Amino acid sequence: MTCSMSSGLRVTVFTGDRDLWRRKPLASEIVHRARKAGLAGASVFRGFEGFGASSLIHTTRLLSLTENLPVAVVIVDEESRIRAFLPELNELVGGGLVVVDKVEIMRSVGRESAS
């Protein structure tokens, strides 16, 4: 299998599973908008413990009263496409945390034949 390498950006949006955008889960709205924008892909990861700006611990532990578990939405694509999508993320996320970092993207060009 041969690989093609290129530079890109990764956007990670940190939010909670109770965060909403017009009565719809925020993470789901971000994924749907990323798809509509034609981005390469988006994934949502749910955490079992974390804290944010409030310093309140959110956890799945049995005795915990809080259930607003941490969620990370990760999107990777070419820099120009990510930068074009950032204003839309700004509208959705508001006061949340959005991290943008440079990445190297490895794409498989083809598969070797099985012998």
User: What's residue 35's pLDDT?
Assistant: 98
The DSSP code for 112 is P
11 neighbors 81 (Cβ within 8 angstroms): no
Structure tokens at 76: 């990777």
Q: What average pLDDT score do residues 52-60 get?
A: 68
56 neighbors 77 (Cβ within 8 angstroms): no
1-5, 80-84, 107-111 — most confident range: 80-84
Q: What average pLDDT score do residues 37-58 get?
A: 82
71: confidence class by pLDDT, cuts 50, 70, 90: very high
Is the per-residue pLDDT at 41 higher than 70? yes
Q: Are strands 3-16 and 49-50 parallel, antiparallel or unpaired?
A: unpaired
Q: Are strands 3-16 and 70-77 parallel, antiparallel or unpaired?
A: antiparallel
Is the per-residue pLDDT at 109 higher than 90? no
62: confidence class by pLDDT, cuts 50, 70, 90: low
User: What's residue 8's pLDDT?
Assistant: 96
User: What's residue 59's pLDDT?
Assistant: 67
Q: How many helices (H) and strands (E) does the chain have?
A: 2, 8
User: What's residue 90's pLDDT?
Assistant: 93
CB count in 10 Å sphere of residue 111 = 8
Return d(Cα 25, Cα 50) in angstroms, integer.
Answer: 19
- Give the residue extent of every domain in the chain: 3-100
Residue in 7, 6, 5, 9 with CA at minimum distance from that of residue 101: 9
Coil/strand/helix, residue 33: helix
66: confidence class by pLDDT, cuts 50, 70, 90: low
Range 3-100 classified under CATH 3.40.50.2000: no
